[in-house]
Structure formats: C-alpha cells, structure tokens
Structure 1
Amino acid sequence: METDTLSDVLRTVRLRGAAFYAVSVAGDWAVEAPPAVEVADTVLPGAVHVMEYHVLLDGAAWAALPGQAPVRLAPGDVVVFPQGDPHILCSAPGVPPLRFSPDWVRATEAVPKPMAIAIDGARFAWGAGARRPAQASDIVCGFLGCDHGPFNPLLEALPRMLHVAADGDGLWLRQLMRQAVQACRSDAPGGGALVERISETMFIDAVRRHAGRLPAQATGWLAALRDRQVGRALALVHADPQHPWSIAELAGAAALSRSAFCERFTRLVGVAPARYVARWRIEVAATLLRQSGATVAAIAFDVGYESEAAFTRAFSRMVGVPPSRWRGANEKKPLTLRSAAFPTSGGDRWT
C-alpha cells in the first residue's frame, strides 16, 4: 500500500529526463553548478521544475551545498538536488570552484548529448576538444524535469541534497549509465530515449532507497508511508481523493481512535489529516488543470467538490489565485533562447 502511494505521487509529477554530460576530471578540480532555474529553459524547455543529478562511475569526488559540510562520493553513488539548489562538485573540499555558466549551457545546447567534458585541474575542454585526462574520475551529470503543483508531498519531503550510496544495491545503475553513454556516442538509434528513461528510473530508485534507509525515528511524508496506520490512511486518500473522507473514517481504517490517529498523522506528515486531504485534492486538480482540457467545473467534481464555486474558493485560498488564472499561468510556454557570444565546438573556455 505504501509503495502504491509513492507510485501515485511519482506518476503525478511526470518525470522527464534530459540530455546530460559525460565528465572526466583529474587533478585538483572543483565546479560550481548554478541554480537549476537558471538553465531550465535550455536543458528542459517547458518543465515546471528542474533538478540536477550526478552519478559517479569511477574514482572519487565530493558534493556539497554552499555553506554545508561536503559528502564524499564512491563509485556508483547518486547525488540529486531535488530543489534545484546551486552546488559544488570537487576533488577535495576547499578547492576554488569554476562556475558552470548558464550562458555556456545555452551556447552548447545544439552540441549532441551526452557531451564530453574534460577537466584537468584548472583546464577545461568540451565537445570535440575534450580529451580524457590520465587517472581521471568519470561522472555522469544530467537533469530531471517534473510537474510541480502547489502541493507536492514528495519534493517537499526530500532533502536539498539527496545522496544515495551504491552499497551494492545501486551498482546496476553504474553499468547501465556507462552503456547509455556509449550508445549515444556510437549514434545507435534510440540512445537519447535510453538516457532519458535511465535518468527517470535512477531518480525513482534513489527515492525508494532513501525512503528505505530513513531511521526509525524519522518523520515526514516518506516516513509516514511506511507507518502501518498512517500509511494505510494515505493510501486510501490517494486511491480515491474524490471521496468525502472524514476523520472518523480514516481513523477507523487505521485502527486508531480519532485523537490517536490525528496525533500520529500530524506528527509524521506535518499537517493534520483534514488539511492533507484538502491539499492533495488541490494538487490533483492542479495536475488536471495543467494536463487536461476539462472545464473547471468538471475538475471540481472530479476531486470531490460539490460545486465549481466551492472549489474555486478552496483553490484560491490555498494557492492564492483562482483555478482559471492558475491554469493560464502554468501553460507550457515556447522556449526563447538568448544569444550567447560563445562558439559551439570544443574549447578551453569555462565562462
């Protein structure tokens, strides 16, 4: 039941993998990636929310958020930045980083992906000019896009830096990523689609392994899924958001008294049961507003409201704007690239 709830939310966010970089690094090196929002329109046009990820294939590296302690990566490790934060990858803490310029990302958009990048100390080359240094570490760097409505419990539950160690469980990803890079480099048909699907599978697997390794005393939405009583209630809400769930009904399904259920649910999830039901209905409605051509009235009934007016009031109260205006603001916009004074073939320039 818990797995079904997680799958339900993962389907709602509609993951989409993006083109990525095959990076070889050696010497004393460090790179700083900008906030994902600064490159989102280039790497994943139309995506509502963009995350960056890295998979260490060989060697060693460190990953860190600015101002936080770095985390050491071993071969097969995955690190994802679910909130799209700027971050640093380096050979060792304290190495001055080169900044990954958004203008450079835009200028190299047309270069086939995965694009080779070679960093040897302070020297940087890419594309045709990239040559793998001796004794290099290899890293796959990519992007994931997803829909992000007004209430997404999964993204809210994930840490700003999600580090999942291979530990034997994730070693399959290391080999699969390597094969995907080779398929793209050989121009084999379907290589791009393979990369995208692997990226999406990688994220789902990372979330599942992260949830499975949470400590027993952990709280939050992912911890709530594995709780027998609260997980049961969440599964019922997600299976049928249109149903007029009452506290008594959910507490009965969880085999708890009303007071014990409310206390346990609120402590684990972070919001009261009635608030969660209302927010999830709005999230489902936002997905329908973005993805379907159904009228606001039809969507209101689909998520359990008795009238369009009641739905509009609830949506406006939680989101800040009425559903029709939210739909207009969240329609996919055509990509407009800014010009950039950089060449589109390999070279040494970084910014």
Structure 2
Amino acid sequence: MSNIVAEENNPAPVSTDKRDPLSEVLHLLNLSGTFYCVPELTAPWGIAVPELAKRLVLIVVTEGKCILDLKNGDVLELGHGQLALLPHGRAVDLRDNAGSPLTPLFDIPAKRHSPNFETMSFGGGGAMTRMTCGVLKVDHVAAERLIELLPQVIFLDEFDLQAGRWLEGTLQYLAEEARNPQPGGETVLTRLTDILVVQAIRSWLKRSPDQQTGWIAALRDLKVGKALQVFHKEPDASWTIERLAQHAGMSRSAFAARFKELTGDGVMNYVTRWRMQLACSELKNSGSSLAEIASSVGYESEAAFARAFKRVVGQTPASFRKL
C-alpha cells in the first residue's frame, strides 16, 4: 500500500495528468469480447436475441436493413451505415420486416471459426442484410459505473455529420472485411467492433444534456474531477478529505460541500464504497488472498478490511467469494 501520509505542512501536489477524468474512465473500459458474429441474412428473417445480462451488445448494419424492436414499444430501423449499442444487454427482436417470424438466436446454425467468433447464414433467400455484431463486457469498476448510467440504446449514423468522418470510414472498412475476409480478418473485425463500442459511448457523452449533478457531472467538474481522477488511480493510498481537497485545489470544507452537492454522497463514504466495489471484483475474478486484496484497497489490517466490507456489502469477504 502506498505510504502517503496527509500532513498539513506537507500538502499533496495538485495532479498534472493531462487526460481529463472522464477520458480516464473511458480508458478503463478495458473491453473484452465474449462473442462476435457476422450474419448474412436473406429475407424473410427474424432473430429473437435473449437478454445478455451485464454485457454490451453492438449491432452494425453493413448492408441492407434491420428492424430493431426493443420490446418496450420502441422500434428502430437500422440501415446501411447505422449501428445500435445496447449497453445493458437487453433482449431484443431483429427482423427484416415487422411481420417476419422469429427464431431464437441460439437455435440458428452458425459456423464457428474460433471460440469467440462465428459467421451465420440464415433466412428465406430474398434481399440480403449483412451485419457485424459483438457481445462485450468491461472489467473495471469505473467502467461498470459508467455503463450503469448509459441509456437502453445508443444509435449512431455514419451520415450524421456530428458523428465524425471516423464512423463512415470505420464502417466501410468493417463492411469490406465482412464481405471479403482476408488473412487476419477476424482480428480486424473484433478490434473494429471494440472501437465502435467506445466511440458510441463517447458520442452519447458528447451529445447528452449537461448533467448538473451525479457521477458524470462530478467527473466533468474541473476541481472535483481532479480529485476523483487521482483517487481512482490510487485507491490504496491513505486518503483523507484534506488530501483529496488539495488535489482539487480547494479548502477542505468547500471540497466536501461541492462533492456532496454533485454526487449526493460524503467524500469518505464514496471512498469506502468504491474500495469495496474494487474488492468485490477482486474476490470474484482473482485468486488473491484476503490480505492482498485488503492491501490493494487501502487497508493495512485484514480485520479492518473485513469489518468495512461487511458493513458496506452486508456479508464477509469469504462468504462473498463463495457465491
């Protein structure tokens, strides 16, 4: 654990990191693809996509059209050069036309090229629709927190000038790789899909109305955002309100008040809960000992860590790991 001691006569330096706090969270998305598919679908066709909990689902139409039914009364029609990101992996129906019958996704034969990549040919032999689809997850608490705040669907159109020239070029490249696979094409397709997911999220953040309060507003705040940035980078340090206020360039009282105003949470309560979220991830995804995990989130004593964990999570670290 970092040996950083808060002393009034030894103030912490203000962070000089050039990456803004929200960009830092995007950097931590650390996407890992669990499934990629390139379907070739001929009308009539319909696919019932089940809920894919805690996954992001990207659907890119590179040729033809697709009707995306969110099953809540909202329907989107995606054409060539358009994409939809489903940040919460909700169940959706995909069709060429509204009346086409549905087939469950996992009942449709597919050709598997690797454990995570497959192609699919399906439909009645009519008009062609080609898509590239990806199912991905994130592996960092900050990224998970951001995903929780995203809407049910994010839509992007290559013909929308605000989306930028990058989208048009990326989708053209994606379509060409899907139509005419080249050596290494699977790697290209998966990497481009990952890029599109990040860019879709960036686009939503740019377009979304300025939020006056909440976690994203706190990250965007010029002062509080700096403090969050350094804390997220070093959650194991000996943080106090005073030390975080120094990174924000504010007095202790002004920082605490501004932090509460933006997040609705007290500074040290936020610190503790964030550390416990990191600990939960480590308990589920690593073989580290409880002492190692305690140290990684800022506790010198395993007993103190266990007490804090039970207070926040409602059970002991050992019990949580067994779930």
TM-score with structure 2 length normalisation?
A: 0.76
Q: What whole-Å deviation, never above 9, does each CA across 1:140-185 have from its counterpart, x for those lacking one?
A: 222113447699312212222222343242223212322332464x
Task: Identify the range of structure 1 (264-273 vs 151-160) with the bigger mean alpha-carbon deviation.
Answer: 264-273
C-alpha separation in 2, matches of 1:270 and 1:70? 35
What's the CA shift for 1:304? 0.4
Alignment pair present for 1:319 and 2:316: no
Could you list the runs of 5+ residues in structure 1 that have no partner in the other structure? 38-48, 124-130, 330-351
Q: Which residue of 1 aligns with 2:24?
A: 5
Asked whether the equivalents of residues 79 and 161 of structure 1 are also in contact (C-alpha less than 8 Å), the reply is yes
Q: Which residue of 2 aligns with 1:209?
A: 203
Q: What whole-Å deviation, never above 9, does each CA across 1:90-129 have from its counterpart, x for those lacking one?
A: 456xx24644425416x6474775423344xxx4xxxxxx
Q: Which residue of 2 aligns with 1:126?
A: none
C-alpha separation in 1, matches of 2:61 and 2:303? 52
Q: Which residue of 2 aligns with 1:250?
A: 244
C-alpha separation in 2, matches of 1:109 and 1:316? 47
What's the CA shift for 1:296? 0.9
1:151–1:18 distance in 2 versus 1, CA, 3 Å: closer
1:196 aligned partner, one-letter code: T
1:83 aligned partner, one-letter code: H
Alignment pair present for 1:35 and 2:51: yes
C-alpha separation in 2, matches of 1:211 and 1:138? 28
Q: Which residue of 1 aligns with 2:146?
A: 154
Could you list the runs of 5+ residues in structure 2 that have no partner in the other structure? 1-19
Asked whether the equivalents of residues 58 and 138 of structure 1 are also in contact (C-alpha less than 8 Å), the reply is yes
Q: What whole-Å deviation, never above 9, does each CA across 1:48-91 have from its counterpart, x for those lacking one?
A: x4332101223444434222433443543321222111123345
C-alpha separation in 2, matches of 1:213 and 1:5? 19
What's the CA shift for 1:270? 5.3
1:219–1:164 distance in 2 versus 1, CA, 3 Å: farther
Alignment pair present for 1:104 and 2:107: yes
Alignment pair present for 1:70 and 2:75: yes
C-alpha separation in 1, matches of 2:42 and 2:214? 37
Asked whether the equivalents of residues 18 and 196 of structure 1 are also in contact (C-alpha less than 8 Å), the reply is no
1:176 to 173, 177, 186: 173
What's the CA shift for 1:199? 2.3
Q: What whole-Å deviation, never above 9, does each CA across 1:276-306 have from its counterpart, x for those lacking one?
A: 3222212332343344433110220121012
C-alpha separation in 1, matches of 2:157 and 2:258? 31
2:25 aligned partner, one-letter code: L
Q: Which residue of 2 aligns with 1:236?
A: 230
Alignment pair present for 1:164 and 2:164: no
What's the CA shift for 1:36? 1.5
2:38 to 21, 30, 44: 21
Q: Which residue of 1 aligns with 2:4?
A: none
Asked whether the equivalents of residues 22 and 181 of structure 1 are also in contact (C-alpha less than 8 Å), the reply is no
C-alpha separation in 2, matches of 1:262 and 1:71? 44
Asked whether the equivalents of residues 80 and 162 of structure 1 are also in contact (C-alpha less than 8 Å), the reply is yes
1:80–1:104 distance in 2 versus 1, CA, 3 Å: same
1:26–1:268 distance in 2 versus 1, CA, 3 Å: farther
C-alpha separation in 2, matches of 1:265 and 1:68? 38
C-alpha separation in 2, matches of 1:101 and 1:297? 46
Task: Identify the range of structure 1 (65-74 vs 152-161) with the bigger mean alpha-carbon deviation.
Answer: 65-74
1:19 aligned partner, one-letter code: Y
TM-score with structure 1 length normalisation?
A: 0.71
C-alpha separation in 2, matches of 1:26 and 1:267? 54
Asked whether the equivalents of residues 110 and 120 of structure 2 are also in contact (C-alpha less than 8 Å), the reply is no
